[in-house]
A and B are shown apart, each in its own frame.
Chain A
Amino acid sequence: MVANTDVNLTRQGYQTRVGHRFFALALVAVLLLISFLVDLTNGPGNFPLPMVLETLMDRNAHGVQMEVIIWDYRLPVAVTAILVGGLLALSGAQMQTVLNNPLAEPFTLGVSSAASFGAALAIVLGWSIVPGIGYMLVTVNAFVFALLTCGFILIATRVKGVGTETMVLFGIAIFFTFNAALALMQYMSSEDQLARIVFWMMGSLARASWEKIALGAILLSLALPYSLFRTWQLTALRMGDDTALSLGIDVARLRVEMLIVISILAATAVAFVGTVGFIGLVGPHIARLIVGEDQRFFLPLSVLVGALVLSLTSLASKMITPGVIYPIGIITALIGVPVFVSLILSSRRERLS
C-alpha cells in the first residue's frame, strides 16, 4: 500500500487551497459591501454620511427630499451597478468556458452593438419586434436584438465549431454590421433622437428602476445556482471536448443549454444599462487569476468581482468631476481595453511557446 503520510500531505495541499478560495470569496464580498455603501453616500448634494445611513434605516428620517434622493435615485443606481456587473461577469465567464475562448464576452461578440441598434430602432422609428409595450419599448427592443445575436452565435457554434479565431471574427462581423445599421439610424434621426441614441450607447446606470432590479435579481438567482449545478461538467469542458466526452458529458447539449442561459443574462444586462463593455472580460479574468477555473469558485467570484468593478466604476463616474455623473460605459472601456490587450498578448505567447 502507498505511504499514508504522502496521501495526507497531498490532500492537505488541496484543502489549504480551498480554504484560501473561500477567504478570497469572503474578502471580495466584503469589499463589494464597502464599495456599495461608499457609492450610496457619494453623489451630487454632498449629504453627510449619518444622514444617508439614517434615511436608509428609516425612509422618513430626513423628510421627503432625502427619501426620494436615496430610495428613488441612489439606491437603485447602486444596486443596479452590482446586479448588472454580476450579470455581465457571469455571462462573460460562461461564454469563455463554453466557447473555450478567453476573449469572449457580450461586448466583444457584438451583443452590445446589436442591443444598441435595437434601441436606436425603437427611438427613431418607434418600431419594435414585440408590439404594444409602451414605455418599455427601447429596453425590450434592445433585449430582443441582443437575444437574436446570441442565437446567431449559438447557431454559428453548431455549424462551425468553437475555434478561438472564428468566434472573435464572428464578433467583429456582427459588431461592424450593427454599427453600420446604427449609423444609418443616426443619420435618419432628428437632433433630439440622436441625443437619446448617443446617450443610450454610452451605457448609463441612470436608467435604473426597481422593476428592472427585481427582474435582474431573479435572473441572477436562477442562473448562478443552475450553473453551479453544472459546475463539474463545465470545469471538465476546459480539459477539451474529447476528454469531456470521454468523461461521459454530453458536450453538445451542455453547450446549447449554457448558451441559452448566457444569452438571456447578457441580453438582459445590456438592455438595462446600454453598452457597458469589458466587465464580462475584466471580472472573469481577475477571478481566474485568484482562484483558477474550478467553476465552483470561479463563477461566484467572477460575479462578485464584476459587481465590485462596476460598483467602483459607478463611484468613479461621480467623483471625477463633482456634480457631474459620467456615463459608466466610457469608464469601463477605458479600464477594459488595457486588460483586453494584455489578454491578447498573453494568449499569443501561449500559442507560440
Chain B
Amino acid sequence: MSSLNITDLNAGYGKVTILKGITLSDVKPGEFVGLIGPNASGKSTLFKSIAGIVRPRTGTIRLGDIDLVTAGRAQRSRRVAYMPQAYGCNAVLSVFECILLALKQASRWRVSSDDLDRVADILVELELSHLADKGISQLSGGQAQMVAVAQTLVRQPDLVLLDEPTSALDLHHQLSILATVRRVMKQRGTIVIAALHDLNLAAQFCDRLVLLGSGEILADGPPGKVLALSSIEEIYRVKTTLEQTRRNTFYVDARLSA
C-alpha cells in the first residue's frame, strides 16, 4: 500500500501559471480527501497533473515508491485512475463494454474470464447490473456518472481522482455515489481525492479536506477544522456559520456577505 506525497508542484498552460507550489503530504491508503475551493482555483489542473495529462513544470508527485511525474504512461495509468469532469459521450457501446474497455487498457488483448468477472463484480457492487446491456448514450446524467466511477474503480488503482463526481446528480444520487465510493475504497485501501463544490457533502464523506485558492493550498486538515477557518469566508466571499449535526458531522450555513 502506498501513500501519496506531492512536493512543491508548479503547473500551468502556456504563459499562465495555475498551480503555485502545491505541497500535500502523507495522504494515507484508505483516506478520502475532499478538494474544495471556488471555481478556477486549480482543482482540475491539480488532477490533470497527477493523472499525467498536464505536465508539471517543477515538483514531484510520489505515490509509494514511484514519481508520477517521471513515470511512464503505462505505469502511471495502472496506479492512478482519473474521472474527468463533464462526462458524456455518444458512442454506441453498452455499459458493460464501457467498463470492460477501461479495464482492458492495461492488460492483454484477449478478454479473459477473469476480466468478465471483474467487470460484472464492479457492476453489482455499484448496483449497476440492471444497466449492463443498456447503451451508454441512453443513460441519465446520474447513471452515466456512476458508470464513469465504475470505469475508475474496475482498474483497482491505488489512487482515484474524481473531478466533481456529484455535479449532475440529484440529492439521492449525490449521497449514494459518495457512500458507494467510500465503502469500496475503504475495503480496498484506495486513496480517493474528490473535487466537491458542496461543502456539506465534503464534510459528511471526507476524512480530510484540502482548500485550494488561486492555485495554492490554503488549508489542509480534518473537515471540522478546515471549515471553521475564517479563510473559507474570504475565499468563497460568503458569511458562514459552522454547526455540528447530531450525527457528528458538520454543517456549513452560508449567506452572501454584505
Contacts of B148 in A (CB 8 A): 243
Contact B101 A248 (CB under 8 A): no
A233: min CB distance to chain B, Å: 7
Contact B92 A2 (CB under 8 A): no
Contacts of A350 in B (CB 8 A): 90, 137
Which of B77, B87, B120 contacts A11, CB < 8 Å?
A: B120
A288 to B151, CA, bound (A): 23
Known: A7-B124, A239-B98. A294 touches B93 (CB 8 A): yes
Which of A7, A288, A294 contacts B121, CB < 8 Å?
A: A7
Contact A3 B124 (CB under 8 A): yes
A10 to B78, CA, bound (A): 25
Contact A2 B125 (CB under 8 A): yes
A119 to B228, CA, bound (A): 75
Within 8 A of A (CB), among B103-127: 104-106, 109, 116-117, 119-121, 123-125
Within 8 A of B (CB), among A230-275: 231-233, 235-236, 238-240, 242-243, 245-250
Contact A7 B104 (CB under 8 A): no
A17 to B120, CA, bound (A): 14
What sequence of 0s and 1s flags, for each residue 273-315 of chain A, a beta carbon within 8 Å of any chain B beta carbon? 0000000000000001000111000000000000000000000
Which among B74, B102, B124 has the greatest number of chain A C-beta atoms within 10 A?
A: B124
Query: B94 in the interface, Cβ–Cβ < 8 Å?
Result: yes
Which among B82, B84, B120, B132 has the greatest number of chain A C-beta atoms within 10 A?
A: B120
A227: min CB distance to chain B, Å: 12
Query: A14 in the interface, Cβ–Cβ < 8 Å?
Result: yes
Contact B117 A13 (CB under 8 A): no
Query: B89 in the interface, Cβ–Cβ < 8 Å?
Result: yes
Query: B81 in the interface, Cβ–Cβ < 8 Å?
Result: yes
A118 to B63, CA, bound (A): 56
Query: A9 in the interface, Cβ–Cβ < 8 Å?
Result: yes
The bracket for how many chain A residues form the interface is 20 to 34
Contact A293 B123 (CB under 8 A): no
Query: B198 in the interface, Cβ–Cβ < 8 Å?
Result: no
Contacts of A166 in B (CB 8 A): none
Contact A232 B76 (CB under 8 A): no
Query: A152 in the interface, Cβ–Cβ < 8 Å?
Result: no
Contacts of B97 in A (CB 8 A): 14, 235, 292, 294
Which of B81, B93, B100, B132 contacts A13, CB < 8 Å?
A: B132
Contact A238 B106 (CB under 8 A): no
Contact A11 B94 (CB under 8 A): no
Known: A13-B133, A293-B92. A248 touches B73 (CB 8 A): yes
A14 to B109, CA, bound (A): 17
The bracket for how many chain B residues form the interface is 35 or more
Which of A229, A240, A248, A288 contacts B105, CB < 8 Å?
A: A248
B192: min CB distance to chain A, Å: 15
A251: min CB distance to chain B, Å: 10
Query: B91 in the interface, Cβ–Cβ < 8 Å?
Result: yes
What sequence of 0s and 1s flags, for each residue 171-187 of chain B, a beta carbon within 8 Å of any chain A beta carbon? 00000000000000000
Query: B129 in the interface, Cβ–Cβ < 8 Å?
Result: yes
What sequence of 0s and 1s flags, for each residue 54-69 of chain B, a beta carbon within 8 Å of any chain A beta carbon? 0000000000000000
A236 to B136, CA, bound (A): 13
Contacts of A236 in B (CB 8 A): 101-102, 105
Which among B73, B93, B133 has the greatest number of chain A C-beta atoms within 10 A?
A: B93
A24: min CB distance to chain B, Å: 14
Query: B153 in the interface, Cβ–Cβ < 8 Å?
Result: no
A245 to B47, CA, bound (A): 12
A199: min CB distance to chain B, Å: 39
Query: B32 in the interface, Cβ–Cβ < 8 Å?
Result: no
A331: min CB distance to chain B, Å: 28
Known: A248-B77, A292-B93. A10 touches B105 (CB 8 A): no
Contact B94 A17 (CB under 8 A): yes
Which of A240, A247, A288 contacts B102, CB < 8 Å?
A: A247
A294 to B104, CA, bound (A): 12
Query: A60 in the interface, Cβ–Cβ < 8 Å?
Result: no
Known: A236-B102, A246-B53, A249-B105. A6 touches B129 (CB 8 A): yes
Contact A6 B124 (CB under 8 A): yes
Contacts of B117 in A (CB 8 A): 7, 11
Contact B101 A239 (CB under 8 A): yes
Contact B92 A292 (CB under 8 A): yes
B178: min CB distance to chain A, Å: 19
Contact A288 B92 (CB under 8 A): yes
Query: B96 in the interface, Cβ–Cβ < 8 Å?
Result: yes
Contacts of B11 in A (CB 8 A): none
B214: min CB distance to chain A, Å: 24
A232 to B109, CA, bound (A): 8
Known: A6-B124, A248-B106. A238 touches B93 (CB 8 A): yes
Report the 6 A-B pairs with minimum CB-CB distance, sorted nearest first.
A248-B77, A242-B84, A238-B91, A246-B82, A10-B120, A7-B120
Q: Which residues of B contact A (CB under 8 A)?
A: 51-53, 73-74, 76-78, 81-85, 87-94, 96-98, 100-102, 104-106, 109, 116-117, 119-121, 123-125, 129, 132-133, 135, 137, 148, 151
20 A-B residue pairs with CB within 8 Å: A7-B124, A10-B129, A11-B116, A11-B119, A14-B100, A14-B132, A17-B94, A17-B133, A232-B109, A236-B105, A239-B91, A240-B87, A240-B89, A243-B151, A245-B51, A246-B77, A247-B77, A248-B76, A248-B78, A292-B97
